[in-house]
Structure formats: C-alpha cells, structure tokens
Structure 1
Amino acid sequence: MNRTSEYQVYLRKWITLSVIIGIIVGFASLCFFHMLKYLEYFLLKSCLGYSGWSVERKYLLFLIPPLGGLLSGFIVYKFAPETEGHGTDAVISSFHKMKGIIRRRVPIVKAIASTLIIGSGGSAGREGPIAQIGAAIGSLSSSLLKLKEEDRRIMLVCGTAAGIGSIFKAPLGGAVFSVEVLYRRDFETDALIPSFVSSIVAYSIFSSFPGLGFGPVLKVPRYEFHHPQLLFFYAVLGILLGGMSIIYVRLFYLLKSGFKWLRIPNWIKPGLGGLLLGTLAFFTPSVLGTGYEVLQTAINGEMMTRDLLLLGLAKMLATGFTIGSGGSGGVFAPSLFIGGMLGGAFGKLLSTQFEYIEPGAFALVGMASFFSGAAKVPVASLIIVSEMTGDYQLLAPLMLSCALAYITSSERWSIYESQVSTRAQSPAHIKEYEFFVLERLKRNRGG
C-alpha cells in the first residue's frame, strides 16, 4: 500500500471515529449542562436568592455549599475517587500514565458530583468535569471497538476536545486545548485533526438545542485595537498576570496540601471546603459559582477598581476551598474570573491617566493571559476567549499578553500538575523516542 492509500485509510478511520465521539459527547454535554442549570436555579436562585452580587438568605450559605460538598464527596470517594478535584488533571494523568484507560463509571460519577458542587455554589467551572466525561467516553469507545493503545489515547483527546468545544461554544479552542494541555512546552499533534472533527460535531449538536444557539457565551462591547502604544500596557499586563498566576497556583496547592493533611475522612473534606466557601461568600457573595454574570460586568467596564481587586483575590481563596478540598469541578472558569477581575483593575488604573484606555478590553485580555500562565496553554487560551466572546478585534494584544504571561510564569508552576514538559518526557511516546535514539546510535557507529 502506497503512502496516498495509507493516508486515505487513516482519514476515513479517524473521521468516522471522531464523528462518533463528537455525537456522543455532544449529547452528554447537553445532559450535563441542563443538570447543572436546573440545580443552580433551584439551590442558588430559589433557595439562596443569589443574584451574582448579593444573597437574600445569607444563613443558608452555611448549609447549602457544605451539604453539596458532603454529598459530592460521599459519591466520589464511594464510587470513583479519581473524579475528585479538577478532572482535566485526571485526564492528563490517564493519557501519560494509564494508557488512556478510564473506568466506565467515571462519566456518571463525575457528572453527578460536579453538578452537586457547582450547583450548590462551589467556586468551580464546567471545563474539568466535561473534559473528564468526554475523555472517558472516548476511552470507553476505544475499548468497545478493541482499538490499540495509541488509538485509545487519541480517542481520549478527541473526547476532551468535544466536551470543551461544545459546552464553551469554542470548537477551535476546544480542539487546540485538548492537544496543548497535555504538555507544558509541546502539542499532541497526532490528535489534532481528529480533535477538530469531534469538537465541531459536538459543538454543532450542543448549539442546535433550542434555547442555546450558536452565539458566544459572553457578550462584549466592540473593543478595537487602534493604538499601537497600547501594546506596551498589554505587555505589562501579561507580565503582571504571569506573576499572579504563580501566586494562584502556589496558593491552590498550599490549600490542597492543608486539606490533605487533615485527619478526617476524605469524603467530609469537600463539605469543610463548602463551609469555608460559605463563610467567605457571606462577605463577598460574588465568589459563588462560575461567576459569569460578574465577569460580564467587568468586561463591560462597569466595576470599580477596589471591587475588581477584592473579587480577583477572593476568588483564588474560594477556588482553593472548593477544589483543593476534593470538590469536583474545573479550574478554567475560576481562572477566567480571576484574570478578568485583575485585568479590569489594571485597566481601570490606567484609564485614570489615559482617556483612550478601555478597562473592559483589559479585563477580556486578562482572562486569557491569566489562564495562559496558570495552565501553560497560551494558544488555546487566546482562541477560547476569542470564541467565548465572539470578539477577534483584540487578537494582537491577546497574543502578546498570553505569550508574556506564559513566559513569566515559568514552566515550573502549573495548575495541572500531571502535565509533562514535552512528548519526549511522556511515557506515551517514550518507545518512539528510544527508537530514534537507537537509530542515531547505529548510524554513528556505522559512520
């Protein structure tokens, strides 16, 4: 078989498999999204009276988040301990260390546990849960089809791409994120094209559902990049947020270590995290949940500098309490919130000296820059934020700020501790690199 024929067989195989994964994960995303939507409405809106800025029945803050944490913790540690915390890191670990194998019960346990945490006000996002749910679907599908280990890993990445691309309405960003997040300085290029296909299919299914649509997740004013001198300020923003992302990562793992040190049953710890979160929310209610309503206000440039700084720092603590305690949820949404608040605060300070500065634009760029530094995904960060907001006018500032945040934060500090530096360090690729080394040695000896 010649190379052209082999390539055609490869394309037919992976287009078919990617479409299948995209369809399944697209419907799984719909189920998870609506489970979360209804529980959030019941617990946060109806019971707590939470509006994004205030809570009507504050005494319930000491009941609902802890109860959600306890129920979630019990389910997680009873049925699938690997679903605790932020699921994306578990996906990365499975790819590198477990041959892409994920247990069958993971999607259901992760969906229920994460719905309980986020729906009860936990400071967590949908990215981690849907990444692990999608990855598990890809892994399970490959096992049913009796695919080889290399193909299982690609299926896992396809499932991750489909989950992220659908629930954030960011098909390109979801695909790039899934191949970039595995490493701190590399990409899983073998899975790129299959990830494109699965992400597009899942996104199309998700967005076609009545009431969701194909519009962006966040609505932003039309910000434009029309002053080249602004690049200097965006560069400073990237450096500052790169430094802040180190503080965030260190604080997160400090709190996680603190919870791990506590000599109480693991399933109780998310409840304790919920109690600490409820106490913090008593004074700063806006740290509850994903925070998209508050983030929207920051992007619109309608918040004061003091409030932006306070909420950005408080959200760091809230996320550590929720996910560091073992609560099931993602770190993407909290990272966007923190970056948006800090970026908006920086923009507000600049606007007092320069009238052409738009604080909302700095909030938008800050969202991507902060996550770029914290998660080591500079390319995916700028693409996902552009797709979530439907705004590509700030692409140049996004590129500069994300790059500098990534560089400033250094390779050492990442919110995803299971990442490896490059493909050469991954057990998934060690055999092929050993082969290249042996081949070179043979050639050198022969010469």
Structure 2
Amino acid sequence: MFKKFTSAQYSVLYYITRWTLIIVPVAFAIGCMVALFLWLLNWSIHYRFAHPWLLYLLPLAGVGIHFLYKLYGQSAERGNNLIIDEIHKPGAGVPKRMAPLILFTTVITHLFGGSAGREGTAVQIGGSIAKWISSLFKLNEADTRIVLTAGIAAGFGAVFGTPLAGTIFALEVLTIGRIKYDALLPCLIAGFIGDVTVSAWGIHHTLYHITYVSKGQDIFGHHLGINLLLLLKTAIASAIFGLAAFAFAKAVHGVKTLSLRLIKIQWFIPVCGACIIIALTFILGKPDYLSLGVDAQYPGAVTIVSAFQQGGADFLSWLWKLVYTAVTLGTGFKGGEVTPLFYIGSTLGNTLAGLLNAPVSLFAALGFIAVFAGATNTPLACTIMGIELFGSEHALLFAVACFTAYYFSGDTGIYTAQRTEGKWPRPNYRQEEGL
C-alpha cells in the first residue's frame, strides 16, 4: 500500500512539474503579446478620437485587410474556429503568422472605426503561439491539444483580467454540453500566468461596479439572502438576453452569407460594409457605436461603463451596437465579438432595468455576462467571470442569468466549430419509443 501511495504521489508531482515547465513559457509569451496588443489597441482608439476623419478611410482599411489575408492569411482567415477544429482533430495546423496578422488587422479595424472586440484576437494569439511552442517541444498529438486549450485560456484570461473565467472558457467552449478536465491544470496555470504578465507590463483593465446591495427577504419567519421578485425579474430579463445573443449570432453569420451571395467581387465586400458604418454614423449623428465601446469619445457618450448608471444608455443602444458589429465582422473586418457582446448586454440591461423597475447597475452587469453566455454557449465560464469582475454578492443571480440566456439562445452560437453533445436536457422520446 505504501508503494502504491508513493507511486501515485510521484505521478501527480511529475504531472504538475512537467506541465508547469511547459505552460509557463507559453503563457508568458502569450501574455507579452496580449499586453502589446492591448497597448496598441488603446492607442489606436484614442488616436481616432483625436482624428475623427479617420472613419472615412474605413473602406480603404477594409480593402487592405482583405488583401493581407488573401496574400498571407490562408487558413488563418478562419480565426477562432481553426483553433477549435485543431483541438478536436489535429492536422490542419495553426500557422505562426496568425498571431501578428490578427493583431495588426484588429488594430487597423479599430483605428478606422470598425465595431469589433478583442477576445478573438487574444484567443488567436494564444492558439498561434501555443502551437508554435508545442512544435518546438516536439509534443505529441494529445499534449498539443492540451497546450492549444491552455493557449485559449491564457489569451482570454490575459485580455480581460479574468484568469479563472479564462480557464473554464477554454474547457467549455470546445464542446457544447460537455467539459473535459484533462486540461484543467494547464489551463489554470496558463490563465494565471497570462493575466499576471499583462499586469506586469502595466496594462490595466476597466473596472465595473454594481452599486446595488441586496437586503434579502423574510418569508414565513425565515430570512432569504435574495429577493424573490428580483429573482423573477432577473429570469425575465435573462430570457431576453438569450434572444439578443441568438439575434447577434444570426446577424453576424447572415451578413457574411448575404454579402458573399450578393457581391461577387470579394474586395468590394468590406468597402460596402464600411460605407454602411459611415452612413449609419452620419444618420445617428454620433460615433458611440464605433470601435470597442469602453472609453468615451466625448462627455455623455454611451459606453459599457455608462450603461451601469441611470440614463447611461439610449433605449436602442444595444440594437445599434448589434447592427454595427454584425456589419463590421460580417463584411471581413477583424477583431473579436465578446466586447461588443458586453456592450449589447450592458446597454440592454440598462433598458430592461427601466422597464422592470430593477437596479440599473445590477441588470447592466447581468446583461454584460448573460448575452456573452448565450452567444458563446459558455454559461459556467460567464458566471465565474461575473464573480471575478463584479464580486460574489450576486453570484446566484449571475448563474440564473447566464444559464437562462444560454437556453434561450437556442442551438446557434458565434463559433461554428463548436461540437455539441446536447444543449437541451430532455430525453429523445422518439428513440425511447422505438420510432
């Protein structure tokens, strides 16, 4: 028994040491690259703030991005879906050029006003660097899958400052309805090292605050830590968050499909998309829905931060951001979807808080994570993200919001490479009845 015990402990120690030695340099390199990306992204956004006329060059930027990917991108054009496919079934490969290419084109998209995010860029940076280093270490197929998954965790955790959410996201995003824990420790190490590396470079993440404090409720002489009416309002709002996630995913895929069908000259697709963005901005008379949507271009602008305040968003701010982002990403510009999903969710939460007479900052936070959960099919990761970003006081409401939105978003999602093992917890009656 003693020999069996010491052998098991030795195996665990060997496993931890081996993966730590492999993952730390991978995550450090990803963290450095993400830090550079976030610095350049911040510079590009504020440079455009100071030079609004850059928006009118968005069509030229789109043409440039198109030819960069046509000449050098090749398989890298598939982005996050390529990395997910490579984890499921290695063989296609993740090119080294994916990381610098997506970094540069995302910065270009934001510099000229395209509405996109940053998560996709960070994940592709993580996957590209992870694949490259795994080839240097000459890892086998199974270990390469784990390193690629850890690369996703490092990129996600580093770009948002949420290492635990990045860990669970990397495990949860691969297959809907199933989480494989074989990469849990490497992902946890990667998420932590990636986040610490970004912080060490002096890059700071935006802070969000929920001002609402729950007082609970007394029922039949027993004190509950939550108000049941607020819980009901959360469920109603979360169903709407799920529908918004469904609409976003359908819109992005629909714009891309429609563009390819109607416009035969491929380089002209981003030109048309850019012209639509410019025209919408001119019609609305404000640039609030361009770029990332975190920092305010002028006092009173609608941003993710302002959505946490009473009157901090217009009634249809969420819809306009959805349209802007669907057009931007659907016509070939580069960047992620997650930060626009944060914007859509928080501004929709602001609107619903007014309609349901609910706390504005709380519902903005619920929308922030719930729309993301529905669009990516990662409710557990988004619940943990809510706790990391906003604190644990409202953890139950975070879970209700994320899982409700997840179910109401249907079988669609922004990642077409996701596998599925069943989203709906109901039996197959036709099979049971022998039909």
Same fold, TM-score > 0.5, yes or no: yes
Q: Which residue of 2 aligns with 1:75?
A: 68
Partner of 1:172: 164
Aligned mates of 1:184, 1:281 — CA distance in 2? 37
Structure 2 equivalent of residue 24 of structure 1: 29
Who is 2:431 aligned against? none
Residue of structure 2 equivalent to 1:445: none
Residue type of the alignment partner of 1:291: G
- Which residue number corresponds to residue 360 of structure 2? 359
Distance 1:376 1:348, change over 3 A: same
- 1:76 is matched by which residue type in structure 2? Y
| Deviation sequence 1:114-137 (CA, Å, 0-9, x none) | 111122221111100110111110
* Residues 192 and 271 of structure 1: CA distance in aligned 2, closer, same or farther (over 3 Å): farther
Q: Which residue does 2:300 correspond to in 1?
A: none
Q: Cα distance, 1:190 vs. partner?
A: 1.2
SS of the residue aligned with 2:129? helix
The residue correspondences of 1:263-412 to structure 2 (distance < 5 A) are 263-282=263-282, 283=284, 284-293=286-295, 294-303=303-312, 307=314, 309-351=315-357, 357-387=358-388, 389-410=389-410, 412=411
Map residues 83-102 of structure 1 onto 2, 5 A cutoff.
83-84=76-77, 87-99=79-91, 101-102=93-94
Maintained 8 Å contact 2:319/2:344? yes
CA contact (8 A) 1:71 1:116 kept: no
Matched, 1:8 2:10: no
Equivalences for residues 222-237 of structure 1 within 5 A: 222-227=211-216, 228-229=227-228, 230-237=230-237
Deviations 1:3-49 (A, max 9, x none): 3333222211111111111111111111111222222222x21210x
Shift in Å, 1:273: 1.7
Q: How far 1:100 moved relative to its partner?
A: 7.4
Distance 1:100 1:15 in 2: 27
Match of 2:242 in 1: 242
What's the counterpart of residue 439 of structure 1? none
Q: Is the 8 A contact 2:369 2:383 kept in 1?
A: yes
Asked if 2 retains the 8 angstrom alpha-carbon contact of 1:84 and 1:327, the reply is no
Q: 1:281 to 1:84 in 2, by over 3 A?
A: farther
1:45 aligned to which of 42, 49, 60: 49
Per mean C-alpha deviation after superposition, the further-off stretch among 96-105 and 128-137 is 96-105
1:105 has 2:97 as partner: yes
Letter in 2 for 1:45: F
RMSD between aligned alpha carbons?
Answer: 2.0
Structure 2: gaps (5+ residues): 217-226, 296-302, 423-435
Instruction: Judge conservation of contact 1:77–1:266 (CA < 8 Å) in 2.
Output: no
- Give how far 1:139 is off: 0.7
Give the aligned residue type for 1:249: A
Deviation sequence 1:216-267 (CA, Å, 0-9, x none): 5233243333341211100111112112222222222111101221444434
Structure 1 419/72 Cα, relative in aligned 2: closer, same or farther at 3 Å?
Answer: same
Secondary structure of 2:306's match? Answer: helix
Tell me the alpha carbon deviations over residues 28-72 of structure 1, each in whole angstroms, 9 at most, x when there is no partner.
111111222222222x21210xxxxxxxx5xx53x2322222222
Q: 1:420 to 1:208 in 2, by over 3 A?
A: same
CA shift at 1:143, angstroms?
A: 0.7
Structure 1 residue ranges without an equivalent (≥5): 49-56, 352-356, 424-447
1:106-125 aligned at under 5 Å gives the runs 106-125=98-117
3-state DSSP of counterpart to 1:295 = coil
TM-score of the aligned structures, taking structure 1 as reference length: 0.84
Q: Is the 8 A contact 1:172 1:384 kept in 2?
A: yes
Greater shift after overlay, 259-268 or 333-342?
259-268
Distance 1:97 1:17, change over 3 A: same
Quickly say closer, same or farther: Cα 1:265–1:6, change in 2 above 3 A. farther
Moved more, 271-280 or 326-335: 271-280
How many angstroms apart in 1 are the aligned matches of 2:330 and 2:28?
33
Q: 1:76–1:385: structure 2 CA closer, same or farther, 3 Å change rule?
A: farther
Paired residue type of 2:87: F
- Give, in whole Å, the separation in 1 of the partners of 2:360 and 2:42: 30
| Partner SS for 2:51 | helix
1:414-433 pair list within 5 angstroms: 414-422=413-421
| Equivalent residue, structure 1, for 2:429 | none
Q: SS of the residue aligned with 2:420?
A: coil
Shift of 1:99: 4.2
> Aligned partners of 2:88 and 2:122: how far apart in 1?
19
CA distance, structure 2, for counterparts of residue 269 and residue 370 of structure 1: 28
1:133–1:100 Cα change, 3 Å: farther
Provide the C-alpha distance between the structure 2 equivalents of 1:41 and 1:271, rounded to a whole number of angstroms: 23
Measured in 1, the distance between the counterparts of 2:258 and 2:417 equals 20
Please state how far the C-alpha of 1:391 moved relative to its aligned partner: 3.0
Partner of 1:146: 138
Give yes or no for contact 1:99–1:153 (8 Å, CA) kept in 2: no
CA contact (8 A) 2:211 2:361 kept: no
> Which one-letter code corresponds to 1:4 in the other structure?
Q
Residues 280-319 of structure 1 show CA distances to partners (whole Å, capped at 9, x for unaligned) of 2221521101111311001123325xx1x31111111111
1:126 maps to what in 2?
118
Supply the AA of the counterpart residue of 1:66: P
Change (3 A) 1:417 1:115: same
Letter in 2 for 1:163: G
Q: Is the partner of 1:417 in helix, strand or coil?
A: coil
Distance 2:275 2:70 in 1: 19
* TM-score (ref. length: structure 2): 0.86
- Counterpart in the other structure of 1:163: 155
CA contact (8 A) 1:69 1:272 kept: no
- After superposition, the C-alpha distances for 1:201-224 in whole angstroms (9 at most, x for unaligned) are 1111111223x34xx523324333
